[in-house]
Structure formats: structure tokens, C-alpha cells
Amino acid sequence: MFNVHSAPLESKTAINTALKLTCLATILMSSTGTIQAASTLSIESWRSDDANIWSDVIIPAFNKSHPDTKVNFAPTPPTEYNSALQAKLKAGSAGDLITCRPFDTALDLYKDGYLANLNDLEGLKQFSDVAKSAWVTDDGKDQFCMPVASVIHGFVYNKEIFKELNLSVPKTRAEFFKTLDTIKSESRYTPLAMGTADQWEAATMGFQNIGPNYWEGEQGRKALLSGAAKLTDKAYVDTWTELAQWKPYLGRGFEAQKYSDSQNLFTLGRAAIYPAGSWDIQTFNNQADFEFGAFPPPVAKAGDTCYISDHTDMGIGINANATNKEAAKVFLNWMASKEFATLYANEVPGFFPLSDHQIDIKDPVAQEFMSWRQQCESTIRNSYQILSRGTPNLESQLWNVSAQVINGTMTPEQAAKETQDGLEQWYKPQQ
């Protein structure tokens, strides 16, 4: 009972001391937080699949010639990359090197002052204007990312199943559907491994894969940009019509089939043909124990010019607020070298270097994809340049309508009308 009176006094001094200590601690912490190691570079990327290749092969190769710079590859999963990067840049905690998505996503980062101007970068001379076009301002004056790699669309097929059913690689659309019919009626294999649960495959591996043959590649893409062509034109409706015809050849319950399910169906040898992006080659090399090959999207009739989607997918730029800009530039110049191009193309098969160096690719399937650059006309995905700037967003709409067309809940005409209406709401040349 006697202690009761003295207790408040004691606790009061205790509180004072505690308060002083906390203040001191806060001051100390805030003053030490800004110090960073001198020559460490950190790379922001969405290629978490490549993390091992960067840390085991590419960075050691760089360190052979540049031993003083420590490079750290710090990937974020692809679906979260854009938003995570934006948040990190705003908070000032992003890495020195930023892997750039093509066109507007990176352009907006540059406009907001998050990416450094690269006009005087020596390494840029190794790239063609077409390769650089995805990371240049609308007036063509300022370059803010250096091209790294492109991805090519096509179809990957299981060679063993083709042999077993005595099939040859289809060149025309008629042959393509005949092949699918044969697989469906004469075997238990799923003819086409694709699902619509994640929606993007329908647009990217479906619409943008087979579409260039309908809208004649760059010509059609530019016409859409200038307003000379509309999404309700025959070329686009026909593309969706073909997609709708894929439905009977997809696996059972494809509406709930995810991207990884499709990959697994193919690598387990349960599906014959896989509408692919060249980046899938790596996964298939690791997981499939059968031989597989690739063919470009079939054309209308034999001898027609073929068009492929050779999409400038990845660039790399420098964080405008990087602490190590000089080291970052050295690294970028090294990335423009033949050494890097060869290393990257062979270690990450399916990502094709955009620099002008002549390089050898050892992976047979990657080589096949790359060879289409000589046979066919290249184009990029038509929704990426400018057309996805407004609301509603064309790319998101394409995902939604393409998935619905395949699901059979929307007709090709409705898909065309919905996307065209969306474009007309904000894009002047289309109004």
C-alpha cells in the first residue's frame, strides 16, 4: 500500500527517459538510411523465370570484364510487375536498371521523369530504328530504353504425336483444320492446348498470333492507327471467326483451363498442338521429354505471303534517380554487345535479340522461330502502339472479347463492334 504513492513518480521519469531514447533512435535511423554501397546495380524485371540464368551466367560473364560492379537481378512476377514498379518508382526504392515494357507503359514512365534519356548511349548504334521504335517518344527524338529482345508467335507441336498419326506440318488454314480434325477423331489427344480462364492467351496466342495473316501485318496495323481501317473490317471479323472455330478442338472444360494447365497438358504429351509464344520454348525444353517442333500461323492458300507477330517485348532503361548512372550505362553498353546477344539468345531461347549482330542460336526450335524472320513479314501486336492509351483500354477489351468468342458467348461480329465502339470513344482518327 505504501508503494502506491511513489509509483507514478517513478513511471514518470521512466517515460521521460523512454521518450528521449525513442527520439534519439529515430534521429539515428533516419540519418543512416540513405547510405548505399557504391557500385551495386539492381535490375527490375518481370522475368522471374530467368533469375537463375542471370545470376549464374549473364552476370558472371559481365563481371569477367567488369569485376568492380556488383549486379543484382531482382524480378517481380509478370502480372504484378507494372504496378509494383510504378509504386517502387514513386517511393524512390526502385532499382538502377528498369526492364521496359514496350510502348506506352514505358513511355509514361519516361514522361513522368522516372526513366533517364539514353540519346547519347553508345550501345544504341547496334539497333535498327524498327527495333528502337517501341521505346522512343512519339516525335522520334528521345530514346529512353534500349531494345533487348522480341518474342515471336506461332504453334508448337508434339513431333511424336504427329508421327504416330502420320501428320505433316500444316501450311494452309485448310490443312491446319484438317490436322486438328484428324487428331480429334483418330486419337485421344487434345488437338489444341489452350484455355480461356486467364483470358490473355485468347488475345495474345490466338488473336495476335493468327491475325497478322488476315490484316497483312504492318500494313493493317498502320491502317488501324491512321483510321483507314476499322476493327469491324472483314480482316478482324475473320480472325475472330477462325478463333471461334478453335472451340471444338480445345480440351474439355477449357473455360477453366489456365495458362499453366495448357503448358502442362502439352509437356505431359496429352495435347498435340500448342498456340505458343516463343518464350514457352524454355519451359518445354525443361519439362517435355519428347521432341517438339514449331510452325508459323498457317496462311489462306499455299504461296501466300506469311506474316508473323515478332513483338518487341523487352527493353531496358536507367532509373532517372539511380545512384549509379555511370555504372548503369557501362552495363547497358555491354548489353548491346555481341557477347550479350549470343549469351542471351542461347541461354534464354525464345527471346530473340534485336541488335544487328549475326549470332548463332543452338536451340533447334528457337532457330525455327528465328528463321521465320527471313520467310515472313514481321509485325508487332496491333493494340500496343498508341491504341491502348484511352478508356476503355483496347488491350483489356481484346482479352475479354477474344476469350468470349472462343467460349461461344459472343459472336465475332459482336466482338468487332464492341472493340471498335471502344476505340471510337476516344481515338480521334477512328471517330
Partner 1 sequence: MTPSNQHDEKKPFPWHVVFFLGPGLLIYVVFSVYPLLDTLVLSLYNEQQGQSHFVGLQNFITLITDDTWSQAFWNALGNNFQFFAIHMLVQNPIGLLLAVLLSSPKLRLSGTYRTLIFMPTMLSVVIIGFVWQLLLSPIWGISEDFLYSIGLGQYFDAWLGKESSALITLAFISVWQFVGIPMMLIYATLLNIPDDIVDASVVDGANSLQTFWHIKLPLILPTIAMVSILTFVANFNAFELIYAVKGALAGPNFSTDLMGTFFYRTFFGFQLQQGSASMGAAVATLMFLIILVGVMLFLFFIQRRIQRFQF
Name the residues that contact partner 1, by CB under 8 A: 1, 5, 8, 11-12, 15, 79, 82-83, 86-87, 103-105, 108, 111-113, 195-200, 251-258, 261, 265, 383-384, 388, 391-396, 399-400, 403-404, 407, 409-410, 422, 425
CB 347 within 8 A of CB 57: yes
Q: How far is the CB of 327 from partner 1 (least distance, A)?
A: 28
Closer residue to partner 1 (CB): 117 or 407: 407
- Stated length of the chain: 431
Q: How far is the CB of 190 from partner 1 (least distance, A)?
A: 9
Closer residue to partner 1 (CB): 165 or 197: 197
Closer residue to partner 1 (CB): 86 or 283: 86
Q: Minimal CA–CA distance to 273: which of 296, 256, 240?
A: 296
Q: How far is the CB of 338 from partner 1 (least distance, A)?
A: 32
Closer residue to partner 1 (CB): 53 or 410: 410
Closer residue to partner 1 (CB): 189 or 344: 189
Closer residue to partner 1 (CB): 123 or 195: 195
- Helix H, strand E, coil C: the string for 7-71 is HHHHHHHHHHHHHHHHHHHHHHHHHHCCCCCCCEEEEEECCHHHHHHHHHHHHHHHHHHCCCCEE
Element (H, E) at 158: strand 146-158
Question: How far, in Å, CA of 101 to CA of 134, rounded?
Answer: 9
Closer residue to partner 1 (CB): 265 or 328: 265
The pair phi, psi for residue 147, each rounded to 5°, is -60, 145
Q: Nearest 10 degrees: CA dihedral of 194, 199, 200, 204?
A: 60
Q: How far is the CB of 197 from partner 1 (least distance, A)?
A: 5
Is the torsion defined by CA of 108, 109, 111, 115 positive or negative? negative
Q: Which amino acid is at 367?
A: Q
Q: How far is the CB of 152 from partner 1 (least distance, A)?
A: 20
Element (H, E) at 79: helix 78-91
Cα 301–307–152 angle (5° rounding)?
130
Distance of CA 239 to the CA centre of its chain: 22
